Amino acid sequence: MPRTALLEEIAKDTKAIRNRLEDIRMHVSELEADIHPSVRHSYIRKLDRIEKKGKFKTYTSIKELKKNIEK
């Protein structure tokens, strides 16, 4: 294979790899958005109020929690 043709092939492959990398970055960005959805500030404030005013009980196991729920 002549040197010019080899360099053209390398350039073409490099461009294809860049395009594929950009596609992967786009998909990763979309997945991150799905995994880490934004939460409204009003909802966070509401949760903060619940935590401050609420009465909570700690359970040492799922079995203990289930027993309390099924009373």
8-63 residue pLDDT tens? 999 999 999 999 999 999 999 888 877 777 777 888 888 898 888 888 888 899 99
- Residue where the block lists tokens 């979309």: 30
**Residue 34: what pLDDT?**
78
Q: How many domains does the chain have?
A: 1
**Residue 1: what pLDDT?**
76
**Residue 40: what pLDDT?**
79
pTM over 0.75: no
Domain with 38, as residue range(s), is 3-69
**CB burial readout 15-31, b (16+ within 10 A) else e:** eeeeeeeeeeeeeeeee
